[in-house]
Amino acid sequence: MIETQEKSGLQKKKAPQSGAKGPKRVTKLHEHIIEIISDSGEGAQRCGQSLGAIAARMGYGIWTIEIIPAEIRPPARSVAGASGNRIRIGEGQVTNGGNETDLVVAFNEQVLLGRVRSGQLKPGCLILLEDKWRQDPDPAIVASYVETYGQLVKAGFRVLEIPMEVECLKHVRDARKGKNMFALGVLCSIYSLDLQVAKDQIALTFGKKAESVIQANIELLLAGFEWAEASLDFKYAIPCKRPTEAQIVVNGNTALALGVLASGMEVCAMYPITPATSASHYLAEAFEKVGGVLHQAEDEIAACAFAVGASYAGKCAVTITSGPGYSLKQEVIGLAVMAEIPLVIVNVQRGGPSTGQPTKVEQGDMLCAVFGSHGDAPKVVLAPATIEECFYCVITARKIAETFRMPVVVLSDANLATSQSPFPRPAFDVAWFAPPIDQTPAPAGAKPYAWDPETGLSQRFIPGQAGGTHTLTGLAHDENSHVAYDPEINQRSLRARSLKLAALQKTLLPPPVFGDPEGDLLVIGWGSTKGAIEEAVAGLRKEGHRISSVHFSFIQPLPPGVKEILGRFKHHVAVEVNWSDDPNDALIDETNRRYTALAMMLRSRYLVDIDCWSEVKGQPLRPAKIREVLMKKLEEVEA
């Protein structure tokens, strides 16, 4: 049942004794990865989020990842129903979810199995397991528990049974609603976290509820803490420094939504889709306080068309979606390209094609973002790489959309969407905010598409503006927006729309190289993989390898200077979370191989032999896995 771990052949370690008194064994660490998992509805999510927030408030670097089942209420004690949170706590900045888990708190043994089978737990991982199932009235449950417990121990995990339910019932009537805070208290003791900060965090989390709710939760927190202090014989200590500046702790979707507020956008039209929807949940609450409108349309197409209408009427508009919704929006995005209407489209990528893996990580939409819609539809594509960039890139996207009168696609993904990591609290800059559109009467003879021959740009007139009346159309049209089938006009107007990308590119800076500007191997990435790639590259550099990496936040247009950067390295490998054929597969050779998306774009554009590696398992890439791949590549390169 848990074969992967049994094969690891690790030594079984003795579990720490319960009821230990006296001095504790304190292990100093640089970082640890902790998971809290339960059945859906038992509060492990909240426990994990609170733990992350407490650690962040104390100055630790953190990266949290949600563990979400595909169903809302999966059956209790089911393998697929595991719900919870994974928190990487480190003494310095933490830029990604890291590798395997070091310590797990599990509310039952079944929710562990999926984690074990998919290789999420480190060999020898410490498991704190609720033990009430041993005395369950249902003999089948007892049998399952005992069997699984035995297997876990046999597989080399250090399983420590803890009486969560028994202890909670001393304080509350319904232990189902209290175990999460008890577990939080236990973790505060294990990781020597500041109890006062923990209490403050609980007060903040339950701030909207009654004082009695806050008190009950704090009581459980203290119960967990005291139980651990009295019963466990070990502690972990990770050094940390109190932060010197204010930090914002949100996930990528909330960061995107805050960017929508900050940019002065006024309309967000959407249709619910995982994993993009939480951004609109947040906006539904916050947006209207600053005079914005969140419109839930009848479908994705309508949402996009609504945003186009709002933008045409002079408001900054955004539509937020995910893969399948993005496919539906392509028709209207083409209209925005053709009619030159500013529009920001956020695509929080998920696993696909089709309905694919809604809650899983993938970077599969780059090519349809760049080349999508039909015909030749030039548009700008940006990809945030961190939670912080999720905030700023929306502001950038809006600015580009309005300046260049074109759609801008922001490619986030499920990894950024649900992960939390602190970033410095932004200081409001009035330049973020959309300036009012010039509505002075248009001069006589003004044309709605007076394309500048050097840049392709033209001034837009919006309804209400005297002298500017014209009819926009998705049909081929001339400078006056008159439908035109003149043999020259389509070519001329397409040139103008395409030229805008070149004009934008001229305003960009070359991407910074992480590591030395030249060397043996350049690792290329985009989007949410940045932290993991750079961690792997930094490790290899420390060992003396001539390796660097470059990360693209502009996908279309690509930034300037890329050819020069590529030219300074002997070999190149793109690391992405989308498909590439394995060159060692029996049927695959260099003439029929499919490459990952960015590798393919760079190969075609710069005629550089860029290799690629990818993994589409629905999980964020792990630095250790990337390191292993790069090591192999370096061996070939250095030989």
Partner 1 sequence: MSTVTPNPNECLMALYEERHEIEDYQKGVPRWCPGCGDNAILTAVQRLCRDQNLRPERTVFVSGIGCSSRLPHYMNTYGFHSLHGRALPVAEGIKMSRPELDVFVNMGDGDCCSIGAAHWIHAIRYNMNLTIMLHDNQIYGLTKKQMSPTSPLGLKSNTSPRGAYLEALNPLTVTLGVQNVSFVAQTVDWNPELLYQVLSAAYRHKGFSFVRIVQRCPEWLPKMMDPWMQDASKVLLLQHPDGVTLSPESSRLFNNQEAHDPSDIDRAREIASDIDPIPVGVLYRNPEVPCYEEVRHDPHLRTSAFVQHGLEAEFDKFTVWPEEPEAPKSHRKQTRK
Residues 468-487 within binding reach of partner 1 (CB under 8 A): 468-475, 482-483
Residue 213 interacting with partner 1 (CB under 8 A): no
Helix (H) or strand (E) holding 527: none
Binding mask 174-203 toward partner 1 (x if CB under 8 A, else -) reads: --------------------------x--x
**Closest distance to partner 1 from the beta carbon of 249 (Å):** 6
Single-letter amino acid code for the residue at 8: S
Binding part of the chain for partner 1, among 86-94, 299-307, 363-371, 593-601 by CB under 8 A, reads 299-307
Q: Using alpha carbons, list the distances in angstroms from residue 607 to 175, 367, 443, 549.
A: 63, 18, 47, 19
Of 79, 297, 503, 631, the one binding partner 1 by CB under 8 A: 297
**Closest distance to partner 1 from the beta carbon of 264 (Å):** 6
**Closest distance to partner 1 from the beta carbon of 90 (Å):** 16
**Closest distance to partner 1 from the beta carbon of 44 (Å):** 21
- Please give the backbone phi and psi of residue 216, each rounded to the nearest 5 degrees, phi first: -60, -40
Rounded-to-integer distance, Cα 158 and Cα 580, Å: 38
Based on CB atoms, which residue is closest to partner 1, 72 or 430?
Answer: 430
Rounded-to-integer distance, Cα 518 and Cα 511, Å: 14
Residue 292 interacting with partner 1 (CB under 8 A): yes
Closest by Cα among 566, 556, 561, 540 to 631: 540
Based on CB atoms, which residue is closest to partner 1, 189 or 311?
Answer: 311
Q: Which of residues 309-368 bind partner 1 (CB under 8 A)?
A: 309-315, 317, 331-332, 335, 339
Token readout for 263 is 């940019």
The H-assigned helical ranges of 478-546 are 489-505, 530-542
Residue 608 interacting with partner 1 (CB under 8 A): no
**Crossing angle between the packed helical segments 489-505 and 387-404, to the nearest 10 degrees:** 140
Residue 250 interacting with partner 1 (CB under 8 A): yes
The gap from C-alpha 616 to its chain's centroid, in whole angstroms, comes to: 15
Based on CB atoms, which residue is closest to partner 1, 196 or 592?
Answer: 196
Binding part of the chain for partner 1, among 115-123, 144-152, 231-239, 264-272 by CB under 8 A, reads 264-272
Closest by Cα among 544, 597, 557, 553 to 575: 597
Q: Are 387 and 418 in contact (CB under 8 A)?
A: no
Based on CB atoms, which residue is closest to partner 1, 77 or 199?
Answer: 199
Q: Which of residues 214-243 bind partner 1 (CB under 8 A)?
A: 242-243
Binding mask 26-65 toward partner 1 (x if CB under 8 A, else -) reads: ---------------------------x--xx--------
Q: Which of residues 63-92 bind partner 1 (CB under 8 A)?
A: none
Tell me 529's DSSP state: G
Closest by Cα among 185, 86, 59 to 420: 86
Contacts of 513 (CB under 8 A, 6+ apart): 522, 548, 549, 550, 565
Based on CB atoms, which residue is closest to partner 1, 230 or 313?
Answer: 313
**Closest distance to partner 1 from the beta carbon of 440 (Å):** 12
Of 79, 166, 195, 301, the one binding partner 1 by CB under 8 A: 301
Based on CB atoms, which residue is closest to partner 1, 245 or 488?
Answer: 245
Based on CB atoms, which residue is closest to partner 1, 78 or 465?
Answer: 465
**Closest distance to partner 1 from the beta carbon of 495 (Å):** 22
The β-bridge partners of 128 are 105, 160
Of 147, 299, 582, 609, the one binding partner 1 by CB under 8 A: 299
Of 75, 467, 512, 583, the one binding partner 1 by CB under 8 A: 467
Based on CB atoms, which residue is closest to partner 1, 242 or 506?
Answer: 242
Rounded-to-integer distance, Cα 192 and Cα 34, Å: 14
Rounded-to-integer distance, Cα 494 and Cα 280, Å: 34
Binding part of the chain for partner 1, among 95-103, 228-236, 256-264, 369-377 by CB under 8 A, reads 256-264
**Closest distance to partner 1 from the beta carbon of 416 (Å):** 16
Residue 502 interacting with partner 1 (CB under 8 A): no
Q: Using alpha carbons, list the distances in angstroms from residue 466 to 219, 225, 310, 313, 628.
A: 66, 69, 19, 14, 64
Rounded-to-integer distance, Cα 83 and Cα 568, Å: 46
3-state class (DSSP) for residue 161: strand
Of 269, 385, 524, 536, the one binding partner 1 by CB under 8 A: 269
Q: Are 526 and 575 in contact (CB under 8 A)?
A: no
Contacts of 150 (CB under 8 A, 6+ apart): none
Count of CB atoms situated within 10 Å of the CB of 330: 19
Residue 393 interacting with partner 1 (CB under 8 A): no
Residues counted in the chain: 639
Burial (CB count within 10 angstroms: exposed 0-12, middle 13-18, buried 19+), residue 487? exposed
Residue 389 interacting with partner 1 (CB under 8 A): no
Q: Which of residues 430-449 bind partner 1 (CB under 8 A)?
A: 430, 433
**Closest distance to partner 1 from the beta carbon of 52 (Å):** 11
Rounded-to-integer distance, Cα 380 and Cα 195, Å: 48
Residue 308 interacting with partner 1 (CB under 8 A): yes
Count of CB atoms situated within 10 Å of the CB of 379: 25
Based on CB atoms, which residue is closest to partner 1, 101 or 373?
Answer: 373
Question: With CB under 8 A, what is the number of residues at the site for partner 1?
Answer: 74
Binding part of the chain for partner 1, among 65-73, 99-107, 421-429, 490-498 by CB under 8 A, reads 421-429
Binding part of the chain for partner 1, among 67-75, 305-313, 344-352, 523-531 by CB under 8 A, reads 305-313
Residue 293 interacting with partner 1 (CB under 8 A): yes
Residue 573 interacting with partner 1 (CB under 8 A): no
Based on CB atoms, which residue is closest to partner 1, 169 or 240?
Answer: 240
Closest by Cα among 285, 232, 292, 228 to 254: 285
Single-letter amino acid code for the residue at 156: G
Based on CB atoms, which residue is closest to partner 1, 115 or 315?
Answer: 315
Of 137, 428, 509, 639, the one binding partner 1 by CB under 8 A: 428
Of 164, 228, 279, 303, the one binding partner 1 by CB under 8 A: 303
- Kindly write down the DSSP assignment for every residue of 376-434, as one continuous string: S---EEE---SHHHHHHHHHHHHHHHHHHTSEEEEEEEHHHHH-B--EEPPPP-GGGSP
Of 19, 291, 445, 453, the one binding partner 1 by CB under 8 A: 291
Based on CB atoms, which residue is closest to partner 1, 219 or 331?
Answer: 331
The gap from C-alpha 246 to its chain's centroid, in whole angstroms, comes to: 22
